[in-house]
Amino acid sequence: HAGQDTDRQHGYVCPSSHSDSEFYNVSSPETCILSPSAYMDFSSSCLPRGTATEPHRKNRSKNPSKQRQSASEKEKLRMRDLTKALNHLRTYLPPSVAPAGQTLTKIETLRLTIGYISHLSAQLELKNLLSSHRRLL
């Protein structure tokens, strides 16, 4: 797939990390928005492979400890990916929400981001309301 990375270990296809600019219109973290077409492309392309088409087969290893080690490695990679994603998410929080250098837990990052998105949504709603009110005058 052009512009996509295939993660064979995790069994999904996602847009390449180097093409973040395709997904975000960012002049500053405070004004970042996800473009609707990119959201649709991203959400549909970042799905588990073969959820309905490929039969589910259990790989029975002759060596259970090797299987455990493999599962452990996959979990480490999954957690590393999650940490990278949360660190990337933190870059979009302005210093007024999350001061630079302040370490945040995963749940704090998510809660602050939800609050910040709610704040931005309210600001946008207010702007739209004022704009439509001015047109009536």
Q: Which domain, by its residues, includes 3?
A: 1-53
Residue 58 in domain? no
Question: Which residues of the chain have a pLDDT value below 70?
Answer: 1-61
Kindly state whether residues 37 and 76 are assigned to the same domain.
no
Residue 37 in domain? yes
Q: What is the pLDDT of residue 75?
A: 98
Q: Which residue, among 82, 57, 77, 64, has the nearest Cα to 9 in the 3D structure?
A: 77
Residue 98 in domain? yes
Kindly state whether residues 67 and 49 are assigned to the same domain.
no
Kindly state whether residues 49 and 68 are assigned to the same domain.
no
The DSSP bridge partners found for residue 14 are 5
Kindly state whether residues 71 and 131 are assigned to the same domain.
yes
Give me the residue label for tokens 């996800």: 34
β-pair type (4-7, 12-15): antiparallel
Please write down the HEC assignment for all residues of 39-79. Answer: HHHHHHHCCECCCCCCCCCCCCCCCHHHHHHHHHHHHHHHH
Kindly state whether residues 49 and 67 are assigned to the same domain.
no
Kindly state whether residues 129 and 69 are assigned to the same domain.
yes
pTM for the structure as a whole: 0.51
Kindly state whether residues 49 and 72 are assigned to the same domain.
no
Kindly state whether residues 102 and 135 are assigned to the same domain.
yes
| CA–CA gap between residue 47 and residue 42 (Å, rounded) | 9
Kindly state whether residues 78 and 48 are assigned to the same domain.
no
Backbone angles phi, psi at 110, to 5 degrees: -65, -45
Kindly state whether residues 29 and 48 are assigned to the same domain.
yes
Residue 106 in domain? yes
Q: Specify the number of domains making up the chain.
A: 2
Q: What is the pLDDT of residue 83?
A: 96
Kindly state whether residues 68 and 48 are assigned to the same domain.
no
Residue 123 in domain? yes
